[in-house]
Amino acid sequence: MPFAQLGLHPLILKAVRSVGYSEPTPIQRRAIPVILEGNDLIGAAQTGTGKTAAFILPILSQMIDGPHRLRALVLTPTRELAAQITANGKAYAKYARLNIGAVYGGVPIGPQERMLRHEGVDLLVATPGRLLDLNTRQSVSLDDVEVLVLDEADRMVDMGFAPDLRRILKLLPPPRDRQTLLFSATMPKELNAVAREAMIDPVRIDLAPPSRPAAGITQAIYPVPRNLKVDLLDELLSRIELNCVLVFTRTKRGAERLSRLLQKRGHPTAALHGDRTQGQRERALLDLKRGRVRILVATDIASRGIDVRGISHVINYDVPHTPDDYIHRIGRTGRVDAVGDAFTLMAPEERDELAAIERALGRTLPRVMLPDFDYKMRPAEIGQSMRGEAPERHREPHGRTSVHGRAEPRGRSGASGGHAPASESRPRNGAASGAPSHARSEDRPTATSRAGQSSSQPAGPEHGRGPRRSQPTDRRGRGRW
């Protein structure tokens, strides 16, 4: 179905053509008519599916012919996301005489006050805290808001914004006098309560069960002792044909340290995390967008707003705390119909987190080892690292010793290099010859994998089954797999 049949205003359609979208994405096809009819909406859509245009396009269409005042409010958890939505909105409003502005913390409040007081905006994108500050200073009134969007609503609740959301809801016209659109990957209890208060008979559009990454993403797990993660990452970055790589760490300090280390090792790298000033954060994103750096090390919060075209790889330097974080992180690649790779470096002590992610995904992810990389592990440890299996020393017909893991190559052409599917019999000494192939495995258990076996349940004879915490630690202090 072409965009023209969705009922959007001709000037908005013109802008859609000018940004180069040829067809609406599934969320756009389903959400746009529902929004244009004036319904409240709860939308669950995968990251990178064109969700922003799904709500901004119909909102702008509805506002084009009306009076100029603050009529649409988009609340979003992070300043990066606010900036991103604003940039998209301005592109979509290119031919309409509508003002779009953003307010968020981390930058001086003065210019935002001036924008609101003197220029006026029709659509405001805001983070909750800064919006409340501006309201307290009487720089913005929400009395005329006709459409409210809660974007990445689960993350706003996760980040502790639920009380702010409630305060903001009280400043708005009541639910019957406004339209409310809520987009969220999950519906935690607290959010359900907010939705009940804020919405009237919402139409639900569930495009993808939460916790499912976009289709074009190939995922792989690299088991590695924690102390070797930097070395492995360094190798990976040297070997893959990298276009644009996002590396995620859990902590701000971790992101800063890792980006310095990578710089020292000769990889031009930028860092994006909450301890950086807004200017530094914007510069880091711009450097990545313009290709001045190919690697950006970021924390989860920062990941929410990143929409850089052509991210070829997302690398989780740490296993994310929650399945949601995992989905959001890897959603930075494979946006809309692109493809991308998502690698996760997993230390033995991170196996429980990975098991939770695999449970949420409903499948095991392939384990991969990098040929020629010195894991400084004994074969037995390597065997265990591949999902806690009993190490299996295998004599190849040609006399090499290899260790069996579980992944199966998907065989997508143009593999970006340097990785050995764990299921391939490969010598530990790195004799993997020729053009090494990557484990382009489907993200589902394969014939060689033990389907459904959780990685938190090592089956090797040394460990038996049981929680990782109870596993022994070897003499060098490394946790066993």
Which residues of this protein are in contact with ligand AMP, per CB under 6 A?
A: 21, 23-25, 28, 48-53, 307, 335-336
Residue 4 or 200 with smaller CB distance to ligand AMP: 4
Question: CA dist 394 to 122, 271, 327, 446, Å?
Answer: 67, 43, 36, 20
- Helix residue ranges, H only, 334-481: 351-361, 379-385
**Nearest C-alpha neighbor of 440 from the set 349, 365, 338:** 365
Q: How far is the CB of 18 from ligand AMP (least distance, A)?
A: 12
**Cβ pair 396, 425 in contact under 8 A:** yes
Q: How far is the CB of 21 from ligand AMP (least distance, A)?
A: 4
**Cβ pair 349, 282 in contact under 8 A:** no
**Containing H/E element for 180?**
strand 179-183
Rounded distance, CA 290 to CA 304, Å? 20
Question: CA dist 29 to 5, 58, 204, Å?
Answer: 9, 11, 14
> Residue written as tokens 């260790």?
403
Residue 305 or 418 with smaller CB distance to ligand AMP: 305
Residue 21 or 95 with smaller CB distance to ligand AMP: 21
Residue 53 or 262 with smaller CB distance to ligand AMP: 53
Rounded distance, CA 397 to CA 117, Å? 78
The tokens describing 262, both together, are 């990578």
Sign of CA dihedral 418, 421, 422, 426: negative
Q: How far is the CB of 372 from ligand AMP (least distance, A)?
A: 37
* 3 state DSSP class of 281: helix
Rounded distance, CA 95 to CA 210, Å? 35
Q: How far is the CB of 25 from ligand AMP (least distance, A)?
A: 5
Residue 335 or 404 with smaller CB distance to ligand AMP: 335
Q: How far is the CB of 343 from ligand AMP (least distance, A)?
A: 21
Q: How far is the CB of 291 from ligand AMP (least distance, A)?
A: 17
**Containing H/E element for 156?**
helix 153-158
Q: How far is the CB of 404 from ligand AMP (least distance, A)?
A: 39
Cα angle at 297 between 213 and 20, to 5 degrees? 55
DSSP, residue by residue, 339-353: -EEEEEEE-GGGHHH
Residue 46 or 316 with smaller CB distance to ligand AMP: 46
Residue 81 or 368 with smaller CB distance to ligand AMP: 81
**Cβ pair 288, 270 in contact under 8 A:** yes
> Phi-psi category of 63—alpha, beta or left, where left has phi over 0 and alpha has psi -120 to 50?
alpha
Q: How far is the CB of 34 from ligand AMP (least distance, A)?
A: 17
Residue 49 or 86 with smaller CB distance to ligand AMP: 49
Rounded distance, CA 329 to CA 213, Å? 10
Residue 28 or 455 with smaller CB distance to ligand AMP: 28
* 3 state DSSP class of 292: coil
Cα atoms found within 13 Å of the Cα of residue 260, Cβ hemisphere only:
5
Residue 140 or 156 with smaller CB distance to ligand AMP: 156
